[in-house]
Structure formats: C-alpha cells, structure tokens
Amino acid sequence: MDFKKLVGQAKDFAGKNEEKIESAIDKAAKLADQKTGGKHHDKIVGGAAKLKDAVDQTPDAPAAKGDGAAKSDGGTA
C-alpha cells in the first residue's frame, strides 16, 4: 500500500472522528496515569494534549469548536 495514501486516509478519519479520537486519548491517558500511580502525570497529560492538538490540526477537522473560532496559537486549551 502507498504510504501517502495511508497517511491521507488517516487524516480523513481523524478529521471526521475528532470527538471519538479525543475521547479515546482521554481514556488512554487516564488509564496510563492510574497504572503508573500518578508518577508520570505531568508527562501523560502533556502527551495527551499534544495528541489532541495534532488531531485538531487535521485538514478535515471542524474549524468551529465551542465559541466558533479555531485555535490559531497552536497552544493547548
């Protein structure tokens, strides 16, 4: 399979399923935090935030979220 095609399909999926993916990220982060006894809480939360930002930056991701404005600063919420 062509790698570029696979990447394109992943971006399409992410753009169309942003809420589901972000929910899965939250669940995985919570589980990882529990399994490590909170030892790596800051790193887990930071990694989850970076993943969510990557999902938010997919081309097909809805631009409006909450207040109707897209994030432009690249920061976390």
Domain ranges of the chain: 3-56
Q: What are phi and psi of 26, to 5 degrees?
A: -60, -45
12-16, 31-35, 60-64: least confidently modelled range = 60-64
Q: Give the pLDDT confidence score for residue 37 in this predicted structure.
A: 96
- Beta-strand runs (E) in the chain: none
Euclidean distance between CA atoms 35 and 73, whole angstroms: 33
Which band of pLDDT confidence, cut at 50, 70 and 90, is reported for residue 60? low
Contact of 52 with 71, CB cutoff 8 Å: no
pLDDT in tens, 18-44: 999 999 999 999 999 999 999 999 999
Q: CB count, 10 Å around CB of 56?
A: 20
Of 8-17, 22-31, 63-72, the range with the lowest mean pLDDT is 63-72
